[in-house]
Structures are given as structure tokens and as C-alpha cells.
Structure 1
Amino acid sequence: MARTHELRIDTLREALDVDMIHAFLSEQAYWSQGISRATVERAIAGSLCFGGYLDGRQVAFARVVTDSATFAYLADVFVLPDFRDQGHARTLVAAVLAHPALQGLRRFSLATLDAHALYAGFGFTAPVHPQSLMEKFDPDIYTRTSPQP
């Protein structure tokens, strides 16, 4: 499908459509099914966020957790289904990587199950030393009936 409009990227938190972001993350994203609105709001508050807009409507989102000096973690990257296959994900990731606060970092990481080709185009690879990485992972945290921490 040909791109008809250029995606405008903005980092203003006030411009984000939190209703749309929460709906997508809680209902459609494989990595965050059932996430609460309060958790999404806390994630946004603690991150450098990027909204992607077409004709004033937000259609894409990404956020980065970073100290702006040594590391960054790219998370919650998505383009709404009706706007995919138009190059918007590439435009969004390029804008993230070009942001002044994200330059000169030693490590920029992310996790994906299905977008390896997109990120490889920006130089992301599998960890050079996977044996040095560890994680504490709780995949059911958003769907358990017990309260979230």
C-alpha cells in the first residue's frame, strides 16, 4: 500500500491519546494483554514517549526507558492495524533512534517476537553475550486476579 501521508512524530506527553494506547496495549498487543490503565499511565510517566500522528490522529506509539546517558530500552512499539504496511513503523523507530537524549548510549535493547527484520534494519542484533543477560519475567502479571504491585 502506498504511503499517502507522512507520519508526524511528537514527544509531547500531553498530545498522547492515552485511551487509544491503553486500548491497544490491553486488548491487541501480545505482550501486554490485560494491562490496566493505571499501569499504562505509570509507564508513560516514567518514559520518553513518541506518538505518531496522521492528520491530527494518533496512529502509532513507542516509549523508551532510559537514563539518557548509558542505556535505553525500547518498548510498546506499535502502529494501529489500519495504518500498517505504509512505512510508519520504520519512520517511528528512526525518530526514536535520532532523538538527542538517546545518542551515545552504550546499550539500546528491546524485546520482540515478530519484528526482527524491522529492528535489524536499524542495527539491532541478538545479544553478543546472551549469557551475561538475566531477567525476572512474569508474563501473567496483567491477567492475574491478585492486585498488581
Structure 2
Amino acid sequence: MHTSSQRGDYRISTDPQQLDLAAVHAYLAQSYWSPGIARERVERAAANSLCFGLFHGDQQVGFARVVTDKTTFAYLADVYILEAHRGQGLSKWLMAIILAHPDLQGLRRFMLATRDAHSLYAQFGFTALANPGRLMEMHRPSA
């Protein structure tokens, strides 16, 4: 089931056929969290995630993806809004649409990692880890 929401000249869609993966790759390859990522990795990640494309007319200007089992757990990743479209509340709108998605209701845990957007995510109930000692990671930045 694909969802779509309209606000003025902007639209958010979960239809993977509408995604401009070249644009997503161009942004992510320059981002601080995935510099130089290969296009094939972006395509595979998108194919295995619930993706939200943010469009201004036909141009993709934002993106987010959620890795989830749609029952107990979700991880929010690769969230961005192009610089020229920031300052209009689009990130808040995108987050509201993501959190309202039918497949993401009733989850026990919804996680994310951010370097600089804590205040955005806090507005939607995200907090620092309650028990950081329980979490572990295998971090391979060169993968």
C-alpha cells in the first residue's frame, strides 16, 4: 500500500516507482553519514526499506527511509531535505507523515542516529537511549 500526501506544491509519496534514486544517491554520496556510497548500495537499501520521497513538482527534494519489520522495530535513516527547500517546515511535515504511516504503528522501538538534528527528532518523541549499555554495534564505515 503506497501513501501520498500533498501540501501546497510539495508532495510526499511512498511509491518506490516515483523515487529519483539518482538524486538520492547524489545527495547521500556527499552526506556526512555515507560519503562516497555506491549507487548500487543506495538502490538496494531503498528496495529493502519503506521509503518516503519528498517532491516539489516533479523534482525530488527530500528523502527518508525506514528499515522495519512493521511489527516491533523500525530504524529511520538517510533523512534529508535539499538546502534550497529548508526553512519551510518540510522536515517536520516529513516526520509527521512517517510517524503516521499505517505500517509504523504500535512499534516497540523506533531508532535513529543523528549528528545534528536532535531538536527536530525530540519534537516527535525521540530521546537519548534509556539504556545505552544494552545496545551494541558492529561499525564498518568503509563498507
TM-score, with normalisation over the residues of structure 2?
0.92
Query: Using the alignment, how far apart are the partners of 2:22 and 2:86 within structure 1?
Result: 20
Whether the 8 Å contact between 1:49 and 1:61 is mirrored in structure 2 is yes
What does residue 13 of structure 1 align with?
Answer: 16
Greater strand percent: which structure?
A: 2
Q: Does 2:40 correspond to 1:41?
A: no
After superposing on structure 2, the runs of 4+ consecutive aligned residues of structure 1 that deviate more than 2 Å are 4-7
Structure 2 residue runs without a partner (length 5+)? 1-6
The number of equivalent residue pairs is 137
Deviation at 1:85, TM superposition (A): 1.2
What does residue 147 of structure 1 align with?
Answer: none
What does residue 101 of structure 2 align with?
Answer: 99
Structure with max Cα Rg: 1
- CA-atom RMSD, angstroms? 1.2
TM-score, with normalisation over the residues of structure 1?
0.89
Deviation at 1:93, TM superposition (A): 0.9
Query: Using the alignment, how far apart are the partners of 2:106 and 2:10 within structure 1?
Result: 26
Query: Using the alignment, how far apart are the partners of 2:107 and 2:97 within structure 1?
Result: 16
Map 1:41-80; keep pairs closer than 5 Å. Answer: 41-80=43-82
Deviation at 1:56, TM superposition (A): 2.3
| Structure of higher RCO (CA pairs closer than 8 Å, 6+ residues apart) | 1
The secondary structure found in structure 2 opposite 1:122 is coil
Identity score, percent: 56
Q: Does 2:109 correspond to 1:121?
A: no
What does residue 88 of structure 1 align with?
Answer: 90
